[in-house]
Structure 1
Amino acid sequence: MSEIQETLVNNPVSESDSEDERDEDIYGKLVSSMEGIDSITLKKSETLTIGRHPSCSFVLSKNTISGKHCTIERIDLEQDSSTYESYKIIIKDFSTNGTYVNNQRIGKNNQSELFHSDRITLSAPKGTVNQAKPTAEFIFRDWSVIPPENTKTGIYTQYDIRHLLGEGQFAEVKLGINKKTGDHYAIKIIDKKKFLGPKLSTGRNKLMDEVKILTRIRHKNLVCLEGIYESENYLYLVLEL
């Protein structure tokens, strides 16, 4: 993972990013890693078009950029029971000089799926991406999978936590994939500050009652608790899907 990817994944979002997350139409951002090139907000209702032509939604006036260089689109899916995906982010390459995802060239008129923290590089006409300075480079941030805290500790060392499956007043549930086995789980992430609130003892008792009940349940027709992780601000419950 590059230095900029580590910074973007592990650092808290900025105030302006938080404002974007409150807009239901905005699903993510392309964060520019090059001086003089702006970051790009991504909206569900729009297909982002990057290119040199003035008709593009994001114009890059560089000779190495094609008139229509690439597009990025969020596509909603019917819930897939095998992958639990509710959407995909697709990047399509229409360029001459190349669009790269994590150093892999997509290829003209081809497409690739984007995932949180992927690096997108535009135009490296001489040699490989590592040997030439790209015209533009972005890190893709998917708002639904940005972790609430450091990913180098706790549950994040055991599970790859992905997109949102559901949410409530005090918690959200995300897809979790065990890094060793590849098994899929539902990760319930409880914000302890919201849950406990001003009635600290009452809230904690209710929270621990839920955990105790889940730890005792072992039935083929009921969801079982597979693991518990806790940090200063969050409680993570690993549940069967």
Structure 2
Amino acid sequence: MTPAWLGLLVQAGASLVSLSFVWLGWLAVGYCLPVQVGLAVLAAHKLGQPRWWLLIHALFAPAIVLGLWLDLPPWIYLLAFTLAWLLFGRIDRSRVPLYLSNQATLAALEPLLPKGASVLDIGAGTGTVLAALGRRSDLQLTGVEHAWLPWLLGWCRLRLTGRPIAWLRGDMMAVSLQDFDVVYAFLSPAAMPAVWQKARQEMTSGSLLISNTFAVPDVTADRIIEVNDWKGARLHLWRMP
């Protein structure tokens, strides 16, 4: 079951339980919304949904109530959906929200890249990493991003660098990893098992997989570098055998 369908079932179940409490007289109508929110967040946590899904569950029902109270015109919802799709793409499939690498991460990443390396940034967002690495003329840089709005912003940003940086739009899992010395990823816990399997199948011996923040479940990294930023981020490194 996809996370989106699981999320809908969680919301439906929490709503049904809270409304049943009201119908049975166990709960005042005024407490229905906070109980529904609490049940949805608790159920999502118990079912192992990622932390960012907990925030979605916490805001989902209140957002619906607010929209009904404001009596917004239908086109507002269409606009919101369109903007979300442009910004995040098919997040229900990729399970990767938009994360942006900060300057502390870039400072820690750059010394790890060998001279003349070919580098691929998967889920490259707005091109932050590639724009920073573009200062090194020895690197061959490629990025792939599937969401239209970050891709477009990245395309504009990378054109300004004056460097011949390959900027692809599409599914990161459809891009072959075999021609790259370093693959950098800042994705989500849900995406890492598939990324690891793809890396083991396609990356050549001695090449390097680097993940910002998110480890591969049950696979010990060859090296972990503390970024020392306010989030306590880490770079996880795996050298392909």
Q: TM-score, normalised by structure 2?
A: 0.25
Normalized per residue, the structure richer in strand is: 1
Which structure's relative contact order is higher, taking Cα pairs within 8 Å and 6+ residues apart? 2
Normalized per residue, the structure richer in helix is: 2
Q: TM-score, normalised by structure 1?
A: 0.25
